[in-house]
Amino acid sequence: MEWSVIFASLILVWMPVIGGKFLKIGIEQELFFNSLRAMGQLILLGFLLKYLFQIDDPILYIPLFLFMTLYSGYVACKRVHFSYWKGVLVIGGVGIVLLPVIVGTGIINLSPNKFIPIMGMVLGHSLNTYTQGVERLKREIELNRELIESYISIGASLSIALKTSQREAIKASLIPINNALQTIGVVSIPGVTTGMLMAGASPFQAITYQLAIVYMWVSINFLSAFGASKMVEWEGYTRGIPFR
């Protein structure tokens, strides 16, 4: 392990921390300690993968999937102050829907060195889009509170009253993947391609896997954003709109 590289790279964290402190953004401490947490988690992952990659029974992926999903739900709940179990339901649901499709179509197989990283990628991207979707929809509801209440007052269902806000939230959640699709291969060389090239794979082999993963991101982002919008709607039925 190149400890000198790890500690030298912390300079890249100090720059936004100092800049944020100067601008009084208010998340500098959280950003710094989360960066240290990421370091610890990745170092631990490096040791664990040595053993996880020796798994020879796919049934053992289930407890790993459950742990990763439950932890993702915890992070989502802490980030957007929204129902823990609704986050688990959406993030885990996206994994349950997409992972069999990815394996069934032959994009990856069940070997641990391929399936486990892809499983983490699916859940991680789902977590990111879910939190973006919830946060954006809550903001849309707050901004359009009077309009939503007007719809409801004339007899419209909550689903109809929220439809415009849900569309805006889903569109906003899909902005990152739309940007990625437009710039990939022109502005950016994505992580999987970079990693495979550095490992010695041929460029076209790396691009093949990268395309499959990028298209997987499209489904992840849409399903997660849609799920987030429905969870917020569900929350509205149980707690009333607007809610906090």
Given a contact cutoff of 8 angstroms between Cβ atoms, the answer to whether 228 and 90 are in contact is: yes
Given a contact cutoff of 8 angstroms between Cβ atoms, the answer to whether 95 and 83 are in contact is: no
Distance CA 79, CA 75 (A): 6
pLDDT at 33: 87
pLDDT at 78: 92
Query: What is the longest distance spanned by two Cα atoms in the chain?
Result: 65
Q: Which residue has tokens 């983490």?
A: 120
pLDDT at 1: 58
Read off the pTM: 0.82
Phi/psi of residue 3, nearest 5 degrees:
-65, -35
Given a contact cutoff of 8 angstroms between Cβ atoms, the answer to whether 165 and 144 are in contact is: yes
Residue 150 vs residues 129, 141, 143, 145, 160: alpha-carbon distances, Å: 30, 13, 13, 9, 12
pLDDT at 131: 96
pLDDT at 59: 92
Beta bridge partners of 188: 184
Low-confidence ranges of the chain (pLDDT < 50): none
